[in-house]
Amino acid sequence: MPDTPVAALILAAGLGTRMKSTHPKVMHPLAGRPMVAHLLETVAALTPERVAVVVGPGMDAVAAAVAPHPVCVQAERLGTGDAAKAGRGELDGFAGPVLVLYGDTPLVSAATMRAVAGACGAGGGAAVVVVGFRPAGSHEYGRLVTDDAGVLTQIVEAKDATPEQLEIGLCNSGLMAISGEHLFALLDQIGTGNDKGEYYLTDIVALAYGQGLKTAIVEAEETELMGINSRAELAVAEAVVQTELRARAMAGGATLIDPTSVWLAHDTVLGQDVTVHPNVVFGPGVTIGDEAEIKSFSHLEGATVAAGAVIGPYARLRPGADIGVGARVGNFVEVKNATLGEGAKANHLSYIGDATVGAGANIGAGTITCNYDGFDKHRTKIGVNAFIGSNTALVAPVTIGDGAIVAAGSTIGRDVAADALAIERAPQEEKPGWATSFRQQRQAAKPKK
């Protein structure tokens, strides 16, 4: 069955005072992307007809993060009810269910969004549907008040609640579906008679109920409905997301030897029979091919690792690292904006930046591509089956031909032809017996006791 056409309005203008941050709350990342981006991705699963995001003045970072979706500016932060009003222009004429979502509640599942949208609107649906949940422990969520028949009559904020109302276990997640036919008429009736003197979106429930409009509750789990108001709650949400990403990775056929010590990004792709050892961090934009192995204490970001490659322990793959089939990147090797061909090896202590390394090439310990002159970046090209001896500096731009050998300790600033040997080292001098006479002299010079 196709989804009912819905619209989504995301409220993200709040300052997030409790985060104590100079950045808008919805820009704080979960699994490597702003929390508002999580919400938008889930909303997209419902193929909404319209999506708009309410931001505060000057929140350009949020506007950029949510593009191409339009933003509506809430001129003054007068509360969630006032924020929803700012969506009027974008939602004008839309009569179907409008999902109103809080930007700080980013883990809502598509299934819950569908359920709440499905319970709203024409054909026996309610005018206002609220997603409720039962949070554990003490909390400040609004309480869902019902009448004797169990119908939702109002939402009361914790600050405005009576002691009896505070006993109510079922709380407001913030997610609602409101019929587009009634949304703005109801919003216009909200007042500010509450503890904070704000326009509360939650008042829409009592208004609808009072006017004989149907209200309803859809219940879901706390893990997807927790609101993020502080850094501590951000960390709890991150843990929830990580648990889900790890489970998904393992279900997809990757082994995570110690799942809780592996940190994944929202878009990490792990192929079949990939093994990830304990303590590995994946930043955004990483794809790992089948049978590859990522060993402990490696950090990967914006990198592609082909099938059967072995990374780490202690490797760092930065954006643009493209590691070929069966290649090896070992301990204390950093790769940035560089391609390693099939079977190439950089096993120890190297920096490979802005480079192309041919298939089968061997990069010795301590090889450095000197890619930056303080102004520009330059490329190093290393040919197929080339051998770079240990402790070599490759001063880019420079090309090492296929099959060439560079002697250990060389500083290479000029191109090396295929199959040639390049050696750049001061000739070694040897003085026979020098050490013995040195020791004797020093011994003789020592003061007698």
Distance from C-alpha of 315 to C-alpha of 299, rounded to nearest angstrom: 6
Non-local (6+) Cβ contacts of 47 within 8 A are: 3
Residue 134 interacts with ligand UD1 (CB under 6 A)? Answer: no
What residue is closest to ligand UD1 based on CB?
A: 142
Contact letters (x/-) for ligand UD1, 160-189, by CB under 6 A?
-----------xxxx---------------
Answer whether the bond into residue 278 is a cis peptide, omega within 30°.
Answer: no
| Phi/psi of residue 347, nearest 5 degrees | -85, -20
- Pick one of 133, 141, 209, 282: the residue that binds ligand UD1 (CB under 6 A): 141
Residue 339 interacts with ligand UD1 (CB under 6 A)? Answer: no
Q: Which stretch binds Ca ion (CB under 5 A): 153-161, 221-229, 230-238, 360-368?
A: 221-229
Question: Cα 182–183–187 angle (5° rounding)?
Answer: 115
Residue 106 interacts with ligand UD1 (CB under 6 A)? Answer: no
- Pick one of 227, 283, 360, 383: the residue that binds Ca ion (CB under 5 A): 227
Nearer to Ca ion by Cβ, of 229 and 255: the residue is 229
Dihedral sign (CA 244, 249, 255, 256): negative
Distance from C-alpha of 398 to C-alpha of 414, rounded to nearest angstrom: 6
Q: 10 Å Cβ neighbour count for 177?
A: 34
Asked if residues 370 and 396 have their Cβ atoms less than 8 Å apart, the reply is yes
Residue 201 interacts with ligand UD1 (CB under 6 A)? Answer: yes
Cβ 141 to ligand UD1, closest distance in Å?
3
- Pick one of 102, 133, 282, 351: the residue that binds ligand UD1 (CB under 6 A): 102
Cβ 160 to Ca ion, closest distance in Å?
16
Length of the chain: 449
> Is 348 an active-site residue?
yes
Nearer to Ca ion by Cβ, of 194 and 411: the residue is 194
Nearer to ligand UD1 by Cβ, of 86 and 344: the residue is 86
DSSP string over 108-167: --HHHHHHHHHTBSTTT-BSEEEEEE---SS--PPEEEE-TTS-EEEEE-GGG--HHHHT
CA-closest candidate to residue 353, choices 332, 330, 327, 379: 379
Cβ 323 to ligand UD1, closest distance in Å?
40
Q: Which stretch binds Ca ion (CB under 5 A): 59-67, 160-168, 224-232, 408-416?
A: 224-232
Q: 10 Å Cβ neighbour count for 14?
A: 23
Answer whether the bond into residue 313 is a cis peptide, omega within 30°.
Answer: yes
The catalytic position among 23, 266, 348, 378 is 348
Residue 39 interacts with ligand UD1 (CB under 6 A)? Answer: no
Distance from C-alpha of 34 to C-alpha of 45, rounded to nearest angstrom: 18
Contact letters (x/-) for ligand UD1, 225-264, by CB under 6 A?
--x-x-----------------------------------
| Phi/psi of residue 443, nearest 5 degrees | -60, -45
Number of residues interacting with ligand UD1: please give it, by CB under 6 A: 29
Asked if residues 172 and 141 have their Cβ atoms less than 8 Å apart, the reply is yes
Cβ 226 to Ca ion, closest distance in Å?
10
Contact partner at residue 74 from Ca ion, ligand UD1, none, CB < 5 to 8 Å by partner kind? ligand UD1
Contact partner at residue 206 from ligand UD1, Ca ion, none, CB < 5 to 8 Å by partner kind? none
Distance from C-alpha of 366 to C-alpha of 392, rounded to nearest angstrom: 7
Cα end-to-end span (Å), the chain: 100
Distance from C-alpha of 121 to C-alpha of 182, rounded to nearest angstrom: 10
Site residues for Ca ion, 379-438, by CB under 5 A, read none
Site residues for ligand UD1, 64-83, by CB under 6 A, read 74, 77-80, 82-83
Distance from C-alpha of 391 to C-alpha of 124, rounded to nearest angstrom: 76
Nearer to ligand UD1 by Cβ, of 79 and 341: the residue is 79
CA-closest candidate to residue 58, choices 34, 77, 36, 79: 77
Query: Please, which residues bridge with residue 155 across strands?
Result: 144
Contact partner at residue 11 from ligand UD1, Ca ion, none, CB < 5 to 8 Å by partner kind? ligand UD1
Residue 132 interacts with ligand UD1 (CB under 6 A)? Answer: no
- Pick one of 27, 31, 87, 200: the residue that binds ligand UD1 (CB under 6 A): 200
Site residues for Ca ion, 48-107, by CB under 5 A, read 104
Nearer to ligand UD1 by Cβ, of 91 and 249: the residue is 91
Residue 37 interacts with ligand UD1 (CB under 6 A)? Answer: no
Query: Please, which residues bridge with residue 363 across strands?
Result: 346, 388
Active site residues: 348
Binding site for ligand UD1 (CB under 6 A): 11-14, 54, 74, 77-80, 82-83, 102-105, 141-142, 155, 157, 171-174, 200-202, 227, 229
Contact positions toward Ca ion, by CB under 5 A? 104, 227, 229
